[in-house]
Amino acid sequence: MKIVRARDYDDMSRKVANIISAQVILKPDCVLGLATGSTPIGAYKQLAEWNHKGDCDFSQVSTYNLDEYRGLSHDDPQSYHYFMKTNFFDHVNIDQSRTHVPDGSNPDADAACKEYDRIVAEAGYPDLQLLGIGNNGHIGFNEPDDHFSKGTHCVDLTESTIQANSRLFDRIEDVPRQAYTMGVQTIMFAKMIVIAANGPAKAQAVYDMCYGPVTPKCPASILQLHDNVVVVADEAALALCPKE
């Protein structure tokens, strides 16, 4: 793993956006794996700014998101379909028919997950996969478990994840209890992986990801076995990590 230290959230966001924009410039028709949540919003804003200036062209890019809540329609304001449109896709010149998010509105979990695995495989897997990391070490919605998951699957969200995501909902009772998520194996098929992390709440997870044992109890630790991983994190998130 290569660790890139950032001063703060804004610096982290610019550094992540730089890596993504370089990928798009080098391969205009690249496949990007994208993430949701508060962590990547700053990077998406920076990419939109560069797109408006003509410095980064998304017209040939295709995207595949990590996950989606089960049971939410695409236009639900809490869905990740909606999140991606309002925070990124509507602000750049991407062809939205080339953007893909698991179909949380499909109640048939097996069918929805198999279909998503099919289209991600047909795309050749991401050239660059952007990840956040949960306080408990989850990537996508792959929660701590006794095994590493393979393909896209339906997961029961842990109480800590439900609590962390409740800030985005009016009531904690409104937070979905299940989600469809790319599996760890699918994530590992990406040619390059970029993990963004900020804030002291992520410090233990970042340390465990980078320096702890490889264990499904910390799903992100599997990334130690990938040969092209860049961790971009601010000083607070790297507080427990040695300065190399």
The residues carrying an active-site annotation are 67, 136, 138, 143
Strands (DSSP E) contained in the chain are 2-6, 31-34, 62-65, 67-69, 99-100, 128-131, 153-156, 178-181, 193-197, 229-234
Take residue 156 and report the two structure tokens written for it: 């029961």
Identify the CA nearest to 35 among candidates 75, 86, 83.
83
Identify the CA nearest to 69 among candidates 151, 161, 202.
161
- CA 154 to CA 174: how far, in whole Å? 18
Report residue 12: phi and psi, to 5°.
-60, -45
DSSP string over 83-123? HHHHHTGGGS---GGGEE---TT-S-HHHHHHHHHHHHHHT
CB 124 within 8 A of CB 34: no
